[in-house]
Structure 1
Amino acid sequence: MTNIGKFFIDGQWVAPVSQMSADVIDPATHTVVGQVPLANAEDANRAVIAARRAFDSFSQVPLADRIALLRRIAKGMTRRQEDIAQAISAEIGVPIAYARSGHAAAGAAHIEILCRELESFAFEWMQGDTLVTRLPIGVAALITPWNVPVNQIVIKFAPALAAGCTMILKPSEIAPTCATIIAEIIQEAGIPAGVFNLIHGDGPGAGAALTSHPQVDMVSFTGSTRAGIAISNGAAPTIKRVGLELGGKSANILLDDVDLADAVAKGVRACFANSGQACSAPTRMLVPRGMMADAARIAAGVADGLRVGDPRNPATDLGPVANANQWRSIQAMIAAGVAEGATLAAGGTGLPEGLTTGDYVRPTVFADVAPTMRIAQEEIFGPVLSIIPYDSIDHAVEIANSSVYGLAAYVQGRDLDRVRAVGRRLRAGRVHLNYPVLDRTAPFGGFRQSGNGREQGRYGLEEFLEYSALIGHGAA
């Protein structure tokens, strides 16, 4: 496995100043698969100083050269795709087939989309006698989560680099190897010293040091709403830009003309993808009250048919969740659903049948869920689906919008005009109509406590740019 014992700072692999470290644990077996150093404030400061020193020159690099660099990085990610997939499977328990297709392959795909967008992106234009320009914001701290490590790293560092920023990446200490592999790829692609820096560490240590650092101009964070609040508070004294992609509790409205068997089955699988560890997962399925019994039966059948087990087995549908703390939190939420009176249609607490170790969760379906129950309001971040009855379209929309989150929403039905009309009423950053093909060019981000700002494609690029107006530029 790639060495995760060093940091990449100012173009070199260097030993940490900090003497602290943490075990990296395989959640399928509870065995230690590595140790990751935990950066302190001095390590963070070294990385920030390197990025600040590199900014003036890199911000002037021609766009064509930045695009060429990104394309070399994309080729490197394709070349090392299997290394990345194996690391993801070992560190967070993703079944190897999905680690390859759903995780590792996303890196090069996002970079190629961004490069195409850059070829037509307007960095400046005349407005009367004023030249309006978009300039790189400066030094960016990129703080990424464990659940989709490649995707979240790439949709931050690639647009930051494309904009002409320099950066420091701090990935989750739970899944550090992908970031190290990506840093190796970036180094091999010929990035100038100091433009991209990598430190490992936890949130209270390395994350807080980066967030509050006076020479960091922007923080881009993906993770929990709780951590997002802490980052916002830490960044406030230095008035830096903060981009947040946080939690979700996405509603999936099934209209009364829907193909129920198809829509429910697809909804269950979408909810349980990545073992339910996706902030935009459709975790609240809303069905007409008269369809509740049938929907619960179909959903339970799908859940019971999923193969839970060894993530190295290509036939596995669901591996473990990422760590023991996550497992305990999910167990507590399942118990809360039972205690509040929801109908347990499938799954429940404890390990799945036949498994005696590892952080495996039984694929769980609750029916007859009231919108006010904890399992209908709080992000569980595991393979747990809540099916909620509604009495009218207005009622469904009210329930869907009655969350503190607003990251994603889903609508299913045969009448496309009705589907579109309902979709327009949902307060979410992304609304998926009839389980569409994933659009990696669409903006990604949320309303309310799901965060602010947008990522992916040209929308992610705009996050790393500032406007500057040269007034009188066009005067004779």
Structure 2
Amino acid sequence: MSNAQKFYIDGAWVDPVVPATLPVIDPSTEEAFTEISLGSAADVDKAVAAARRAFATFSQTSRDERLALMRRLLAVYMRRYDEMAATISREMGAPRKMAHASQAAMGSLHLERMIATLETFVFEEMRGTTLIAREPIGVVGMITPWNWPMNQIMCKVAPALAAGCTMVLKPSEIAPTSGLLFAEMMEEAGVPKGVFNLVNGDGPGVGEAMSRHPGIDMMSFTGSTRAGILVAKAAADTIKRVHQELGGKSANILLPDVDLEAAVTRGVTACFGNSGQSCNAPTRMFVPADRHDEAAEIAGRAAATFRVGPADAETSNLGPVVSKQQFDKIQALIETGIREGATLVAGGPGLPEGTNRGYFVRPTVFAHVTPDMTIAREEIFGPVLSILSYDSEDQVIELANDTVYGLAAYIQAGDLARGRKVAAKMRAGTVYINYPAWDAGAPFGGYKQSGNGREYADFGLTEFLEIKGVVGYGAA
């Protein structure tokens, strides 16, 4: 990638103000495959200045002008779709097939949905003689994670474009090459200079400078709750809007009337998807106490069907986790689960058999997990499932909600009416009943320490808008 050590600022590829580089590691091999530049506050200043200049004109563009830009971007994205899938696979370890079918697809699907949203979105309405206007908030700072890189980039960039905002993006420094490729796509689509800017870097060097910057009107952050707290604190002095999608520890409640074999098997698959590196993964499976051991046996069989291996291997359906830091964290939590008395049903610590390099984690299932155990409370972010038991519907609702997080919840029910009843009592931003198909129009975001604000479709677009009331606008 020719622009790997450059930033995209004010419509041009530029060198960092202060030279500094960081290797990008292929998690399947533990070897560097490229280097990026690390930015500083000086680079953020340049990008914000460009975005502020561009906002004066881009904020005044028509709906049709913004739609034309977004449609050009979609065409470029689809033409380079295979390249994006391969880039994501290498930088964060998603198996090639999964990267093509899911990881890269999130970018195009969200962009398509935002185009459809913009076509009919109501920016102005009259209430009596008062005009209610929804206007772009301004310059948006965006910090995105490594686990679903294009999903989160597009969930921020697409609504910002639709709203008429300008932006500065900092992709994850762990998986930055997809962001650089996306910047090339934006350039090819003809985004006006200064509307989209990209500065690579780490949290202390770039993320904090963005969050504190008085020229940024809104911070949109996706990542860990720990990092989200730092963003919010840094942003507080300038009273900017802070939109966050953070961690999760999602419950998966299997009600007594389900087909246990199917419900447990699909629950394991949902938990292990993307090597367990999804903030909304159903990592706590609640099963009726009298069927706990049966569920554990089914989960063990399901875990055994996963083939762990390099992202580019045809046989792999579970790739590595993204980094040594992540690998070490997961290994420590697996050891903690054993030490605290959970029953190891499948997997466990150490590398899978036949591997001696790469950040590969054995697909792991714990049974007889109690709510006070560390693995039932902390976000592991790896292919590790905890099975807990319950005695009554009221008890499982209480246990499921007993977490600092509230991003997602899952309900499996033979009786849909009963499933809906339980869903209504979940303190989570999204509830999924009976493993439904993914919906790009459903609001995505969390309660409690899982964040604030929502993404996807019109819910996401609204986050990038300010509301203005013009009283007397319609007076005679």
Give the TM-score of the pair, scaled to structure 2: 0.99
**Distance in 1 between the 2:282 and 2:435 partners?**
11
In structure 2, the partner of 1:456 is 456
Contact 2:139–2:218 (Cα < 8 Å) also in 1: yes
Per the alignment, residue 293 of structure 2 pairs with 293
Within-5 A mapping of 1:147-226: 147-226=147-226
Amino acid at match of 1:407: L
Query: SS at 2:122's partner residue?
Result: coil
| Unmatched 5+ stretches in structure 1 | none
- CA distance in structure 2 between the partners assigned to 1:91 and 1:181 by the alignment: 12
- Distance in 1 of aligned mates of 2:389 and 2:126: 54
Deviation at 1:174, TM superposition (A): 0.6
In 2, the alpha carbon distance for the partners of 1:389 and 1:2 equals 53
Indicate the residue corresponding to 1:472 in structure 2.
Answer: 472
Amino acid at match of 2:316: T
Contact 1:2 1:177 in 2 (8 A): no
- One-letter amino acid of the structure 2 residue matched with residue 175 of structure 1: A
Q: 1:413: how far off?
A: 1.4
1:307 to 1:2, Cα distance in 2 relative to 1, 3 A: farther
| Overall identity of the aligned pairs, in % | 57
Which residue does 2:400 correspond to in 1?
400
Deviations 1:220-241 (A, max 9, x none): 0000000000000000000000
Structure 2 residue 360 is matched with structure 1 residue 364: no
1:2: how far off?
5.3
1:238 and 1:102 map into 2 onto residues whose CA distance is: 38
User: For the residues of structure 1 that align with 2:76 and 2:283, how far apart are their CA atoms?
Assistant: 35
Superposition pairs of residues 271-350 of structure 1, within 5 angstroms: 271-350=271-350
Contact 1:18 1:37 in 2 (8 A): no
In the alignment, residue 143 of structure 1 is paired with which amino acid?
A: I
1: CA distance, partners of 2:292 / 2:349? 23
CA contact (8 A) 1:27 1:322 kept: yes
Which amino acid in structure 1 is aligned with residue 365 of structure 2? V
Distance 2:2 2:169 in 1: 17
Shift of 1:215: 0.6
Distance 2:172 2:326 in 1: 14
Q: Deviations over 1:273-302 (max 9, x none)?
A: 000000000000000001111110010111
Give the secondary-structure state (helix, strand or coil) at the position aligned to 1:125.
strand
8 Å CA contact 2:149–2:175 kept in 1: the answer is: yes
**What is residue 70 of structure 2 aligned with on the other side?**
70
Q: Which letter maps to 1:473?
A: Y
Paired residues of 1:75 and 1:108 also in contact (CA < 8 A): no
Q: Distance in 2 between matches of 1:186 and 1:24?
A: 22
Task: Look up the match of 1:241.
Answer: 241
1:11 match: 11
What residue in structure 2 maps to residue 388 of structure 1? 388
* 1:105 alignment partner, SS class: helix
Residues in 2 aligned to 1:366 and 1:239: alpha-carbon distance in whole angstroms: 44
Q: Which amino acid is 2:449 matched to?
A: Q
Question: Match of 1:296, SS?
Answer: helix
Superposed CA deviations along residues 424-462 of structure 1, whole A, max 9, x for unmatched, are 110000000000010011110000000000001000000
- Moved segments of 4+, more than 3 Å: none
Deviation at 1:119, TM superposition (A): 1.6
Q: Identify the residue that residue 257 of structure 2 maps to in structure 1.
A: 257
| Structure 2 Cα separation of the partners of residues 314 and 197 of structure 1 | 36
Residue type matched to 1:239 in 2?
A: I
Matched to 2:183, the amino acid is A
* 1:56 and 2:59 matched: no
Aligned to 1:435: 435
Question: Aligned AA for 1:207?
Answer: G
SS in 1 for 2:231: helix
Can you list the C-alpha shifts for 1:238-257, whole angstroms capped at 9, x where unaligned?
A: 00000000000000000001
CA distance in 1, matches of 2:400, 2:380: 17
Q: Which residue of 2 aligns with 1:128?
A: 128
Q: What secondary structure is seen at the aligned counterpart in 2 of 1:110?
A: helix
Distance 2:27 2:304 in 1: 22
Q: CA deviation at 1:85?
A: 1.1
Is 306-315 or 121-130 further displaced after alignment?
A: 306-315
Q: Say which SS state the counterpart of residue 114 (structure 1) adopts.
A: helix
CA RMSD of aligned residues (A): 0.7
| Cα displacement (A) at 1:116 | 0.9
Structure 1 CA distance, aligned partners of 2:109 and 2:65? Answer: 19
Give the aligned length.
476
CA–CA distance in structure 1, aligned partners of residues 65 and 101 of structure 2: 29
**Alpha carbons of structure 1 residues 377 and 177: separation in structure 2 relative to 1, 3 Å:** same
1:386-416 superposed Cα distances (whole Å, 9 cap, x missing partner): 0000010101100100000000000001111
1:5 Cα offset (Å):
0.9
User: 2 CA distance for matches of 1:165 and 1:442?
Assistant: 23
Counterpart contact for 2:309–2:315, Cα < 8 Å = no
Q: Deviations over 1:147-174 (max 9, x none)?
A: 0000000010010011000000000001
**Distance in 1 separating the partners of 2:339 and 2:73:** 50
CA contact (8 A) 2:5 2:21 kept: no
Cα distance between partner residues in 2 of 1:184 and 1:312: 24
Provide Cα deviations, 1:68-99, integer angstroms capped at 9, x if missing partner: 11111111111111111111111111100000
| Distance in 1 of aligned mates of 2:15 and 2:426 | 49
SS of residue paired to 1:193? coil
Q: Which residue of 2 aligns with 1:351?
A: 351
Match of 2:93 in 1: 93
CA shift, 1:65, in A, is 0.8
Q: 1:396 to 1:464 in 2, by over 3 A?
A: same
Distance 1:263 1:227 in 2: 34
